[in-house]
């Protein structure tokens, strides 16, 4: 399940990608993404440490995308914030680990379904960029349900 932290990250980055100036402060992004400012600041720093954002300090500072919006996929953002896309560690490509309760990977009756789910999820999220969200207006689907 997508965490609230990942939702805030995605919404803030879509807002930044849609900003005509290409730059915004944490305060502005928090207001536009409807996210708590302090929480979003920590998220933005994590995204900057992972080369998705660049930050500039000072009076004219703020955040900018580290690469074009077309080159930043939803999968990349989610992996930075929430970790692997896989539902179980035994099907993760980025963080593979045998499940503790599973006696054998080859005979596990759950693994094939989990592999398919991981592959389908990754296929969609790897192909969907910030630019796609800006052009398609997809940010509404990421807002919490009241």
**Binning pLDDT at 50, 70 and 90, where does residue 146 land?**
very low
Dihedral over Cα of 8, 42, 77, 79: its sign: negative
**Binning pLDDT at 50, 70 and 90, where does residue 145 land?**
very low
Chain centroid offset of residue 29 CA: 15
Q: By C-alpha distance, which of 30, 9, 134, 28 is closest to 81? A: 9
State which fold the 4-137 domain adopts: Arc Repressor Mutant, subunit A (1.10.10)
Residue 22: count of CB within 10 angstroms of its CB: 13
Strand partners, 53: 65
CA angle 135, 138, 142 (to 5 degrees): 150
8-state DSSP, 100: T
Q: By C-alpha distance, which of 27, 3, 2 is closest to 16? A: 27
Task: Name the token pair of 131.
Answer: 């630019």
Please identify which residue in the block is written with the tokens 């074009």: 68
Convert the pLDDT of each residue in 70-124 to its tens digit. 999 999 999 999 998 888 878 787 777 777 777 777 777 888 888 899 899 999 9
User: Can you give the residue ranges of every domain in the chain?
Assistant: 4-137
CB neighbour list of residue 25: distance below 8 Å, 6 or more residues apart: 61, 62, 63
Convert the pLDDT of each residue in 1-59 to its tens digit. 899 999 999 999 999 999 999 999 999 999 999 999 999 999 999 999 999 999 988 77
8-state DSSP, 140: G
Burial class (CB in 10 A: 0-12, 13-18, 19+), 120: exposed
């Amino acid at each position: 399940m997508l965490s609230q932290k990942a939702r805030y990250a995605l919404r803030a980055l879509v807002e930044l990608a849609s900003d005509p100036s290409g730059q915004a402060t944490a305060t502005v992004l928090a207001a536009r993404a409807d996210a708590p400012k302090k929480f979003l600041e920590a998220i933005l720093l994590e995204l900057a440490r992972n080369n998705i954002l660049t930050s500039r300090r000072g009076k004219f500072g703020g955040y900018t995308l580290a690469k074009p919006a077309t080159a930043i996929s939803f999968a990349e953002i989610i992996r930075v914030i929430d970790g692997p896309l896989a539902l179980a560690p035994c099907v993760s490509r980025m963080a593979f680990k045998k499940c503790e309760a599973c006696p054998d990977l080859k005979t596990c009756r759950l693994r094939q379904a989990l592999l398919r789910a991981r592959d389908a999820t990754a296929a969609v999220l790897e192909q969907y960029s910030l630019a796609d969200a800006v052009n398609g207006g997809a940010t509404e689907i990421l807002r919490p349900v009241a």
